[in-house]
Amino acid sequence: MEINFNILRVGLICGGCSTEHEVSLQSAAYIMQHIDKNLFEIVVFWISKHGGWYIIYNDVSRNIFSDSREQKNKYIPVMIKQFSGRFVFFTDDITSALLKIDVIFPIIHGSFGEDGSLQGLIRIMNLPYVGSSILGSSICMDKTITKRLLRDSGLPVASFKTFSHYERSNITFVSFYNMFGLPFFIKPVNQGSSIGVSKVTNQNVFNKALDVAFAYGDKIMVEPCIVGRELECAVLGNDDPISSVCGEIVINSNNDNGFYTYYKKYISSTTEVIIPALITNIISDKVRHYSICAFQTLSCSGMARIDMFLTLNNQIIINEVNTLPGFTSHSMYPKLWEATGISPTLLLTKLITLSLERYEWEKYSFIILCIFEMIF
């Protein structure tokens, strides 16, 4: 399906109440820098850490966003008008006005941003939006649901155990030591960017790791430590997705227990990114094939980044699927596509076009359903 448009007004939603607020602001700044200004007009909607919605007309940077009363007075509060595709905002003289948006680009990472919540709100507004649907977003936000669906589809995942907070009294170090050996990982099931993840190397850190993981939600997951290389592959598309070249994350430090922490993803210079990954064509083809299979199995659309391990005996294990990958200067998703031959500007245009295609198809399907119900 071809989408014809002149200049579209894109609502870029960033910030949010999650622990990945700062990452979202970095991603928003990257998108504003690289989006095609000849095709799109950007309107930035900032959600504060306390949940307030504001229109920001300045350039996006972490320095201009603040929950302080003094700084908030410079912002324009926003309310949502259901089913209309419009936002209500208040001007300086306290009169209200309607702002029409053509498509939403949500770039809020973590809880409420990529778990289907924001996607549901945008759907209620009857607007197209970039990224996966409510279903695909909510599936991939829960690591245990993701792994179960991948496993049941015959795709390779590591073994894992899941516990709720009310089962904590039954969780013992010895049981996981017998199951996985040392080290093993404890993580919340619904966080990204390695937030809340601990590497358990001995019994002394076990209870603290549980405390950290449960601080981010009522469900946690325990997994063995996979010894091998960390590979990533980007996927782009709707019904007929394509995959990028593979990339590798190399950690050049023994700190942080040698895994890809939040600090190493967004702050540290000790992490090296190799694109394309130095792997054989056979392994590369398999990684790309698994990436597309995972994308389709989990009902993803638009985009996703698939994280995998390559073990010492060349076994590929799918680790996570991220439906709203970062768009910072450090982020793998745009880097992988640039190495594949798609520039950041073209990538953003493709993502917006894909969102419009899906929106038109959903409207068409709804009309057909209504006609079918009228006939029968």
- Known binding residues are 143, 185-187, 193-194, 223-230, 307, 319-320, 322
- Known binding residues for ATP are 143, 185-187, 193-194, 223-230, 319-320
Residue 42: strand, helix, or coil: strand
Q: Among all residues, which ones are annotated catalytic?
A: 20, 193, 331
How many Å apart are CA 224 and CA 311, to the nearest integer?
Answer: 13
How many Å apart are CA 335 and CA 10, to the nearest integer?
Answer: 23
Quickly tell me which residue has 């990204």 as its tokens: 192
| Closest by CA position to 176, among listed 164, 166, 186 | 186
| Closest by CA position to 342, among listed 243, 211, 261 | 243
- Name residue 15's amino acid: G
| Closest by CA position to 330, among listed 259, 251, 260, 264 | 264
Buried-state track 207-244, b at ≥16 Cβ within 10 A, e below 16: eebbebbbebbebbbbbbbbebbbbbbbbbbeeebebb
Is residue 105 within 8 Å of residue 10, measured between CB atoms? yes
How many other C-beta atoms lie within 10 A of the C-beta of residue 261?
21
CA angle 60, 62, 67 (to 5 degrees): 105
Residue 74: strand, helix, or coil: coil
User: DSSP alpha helices (H): ranges in 153-298?
Assistant: 173-180, 206-214, 262-266, 281-297
Please spell the DSSP secondary structure of 331-376, one letter per residue: -HHHHHHHHHT--HHHHHHHHHHHHHHHHHHHHHHHHHHHHHHHH-
| Closest by CA position to 195, among listed 296, 320, 316 | 320
